[in-house]
Amino acid sequence: MTTPPLPVDTRRRSELPDSYSAPRSCERQWLRSALLVLGLILIAVHHWGDATGRQSLPATWLFAALLLLVGWTYSRAKALGLTLVSLLAWGWIDASVATDWTGALAGQFVRLAVALGLVAWMNHLRDRLSEAYRLARLDSLTRLPNRQALVEALEAELSRTRRLGRPFTVALLDCDGFKEINDRHGHMAGDEVLRHIGLALRQHTRPYDCVGRLGGDEFLLVLSEVDGENAVLIAERLRAALRHFVEREYPSLTFSLGVVTFRTADLDWDDCIQLTDDAMYAAKRRGPDQTRFEVVDGPATRTLPLSK
């Protein structure tokens, strides 16, 4: 049987999270840039008033705080460039009222070094924290999202369903006979199998679906805006991809799949995992290499037949 292509709903792209939504991301970036530039201009005016004696409140600490914000917000090149332009404006104001050019020039160099170092340090700190946040949500073996990232994806889908009323599907895949691979070929071979399974699942799902390792030899897929009929097509596509991998190296390896479509958000993320886990074990009780499909419309659960 020819496996149908993975259905892609083009309407989905307008409802992606901020990290995938280009228009919303651009609007926020422009707004953030405008506010920072406006802040630098106001501080420059404030410093000009301070330098000419029109007011007594120093602008140095305000300027330093804004530079920290610049370093945290922008890439290193943009942050350093904006800092350099701001300091040149600051130096021009100082030079316009300076009587000791040597002292003013020396002070400007010191200020430049301190400010650039401060912005670079803040930018580096931001990058390190972002990397730590990313790594904390990755499975070290497969480099797929781990349980924490999957929970966050489920919470995001439940929130979207509450707001927009659109369904989503959760699939749990368990490897039948995986222990035999570990026992016969060793744990290194088992780890390699898990990495290949994760890669196959990732390559045959959409970029904005969340595919992660729940633990052991179980993989969880959170499929955005996929209803029951499309869930059957996707499950068959994934089976075909996995079968192509295992039939050459590990023909005894099969997969049990529990696939649950949620049309309601009147439950929590742990309910989603539990219902999908129950569906997977129901498939496993029917024998190896089976799939169980269910649709949750509310308190009741309805089972869909799988056409082979």
**Computed over its alpha carbons, how large is the radius of gyration of the chain?**
28
Does residue 265 have a pLDDT over 80? yes
Residues 279-296: what's their mean pLDDT?
A: 93
Closest CA to 195 of 253, 142, 239: 142
**What is the structure's pLDDT at 19?**
36
Does residue 300 have a pLDDT over 60? no
Distance CA 155, CA 158 (A): 5
**What is the structure's pLDDT at 193?**
92
Q: What is the mean pLDDT of the chain?
A: 79
Question: What whole-number percentage of the chain has pLDDT above 70?
Answer: 72
Does residue 170 have a pLDDT over 90? yes
Residues 248-268: what's their mean pLDDT?
A: 90
Residues 160-181: what's their mean pLDDT?
A: 92
Residue partners of 104: CB distance under 8 A and separation at least 6? 91, 94, 95, 98
Domains of the chain: 12-135 (no CATH), 143-304 (3.30.70.270)
**What is the structure's pLDDT at 252?**
83
CA 267 to chain centre: 23
Terminal CA-CA length for the chain: 9
Does residue 256 have a pLDDT over 90? yes
pLDDT tens figures, 97-152: 666 666 667 777 777 788 888 888 888 998 898 888 888 889 999 999 999 999 99
pTM: 0.68
> What are the DSSP calls for 215-276, one per residue?
ETTEEEEEEET--HHHHHHHHHHHHHHHHHHHHHH-TT-EEEEEEEEE----S-HHHHHHHH
Residue partners of 264: CB distance under 8 A and separation at least 6? 161, 296, 297, 298
- When pLDDT is cut at 50, 70 and 90, the band that residue 10 belongs to is very low
Which residue's entry shows tokens 């990058």? 127
Buried b (16+ CB within 10 A) or exposed e, 288-306: ebbbbbbbbeeeeeeebee
Establish whether 139 is a catalytic residue. Answer: no
Query: Strand locations in 103-217, DSSP E?
Result: 168-176, 210-215
Catalytic residue of the set 217, 277, 278, 297: 217
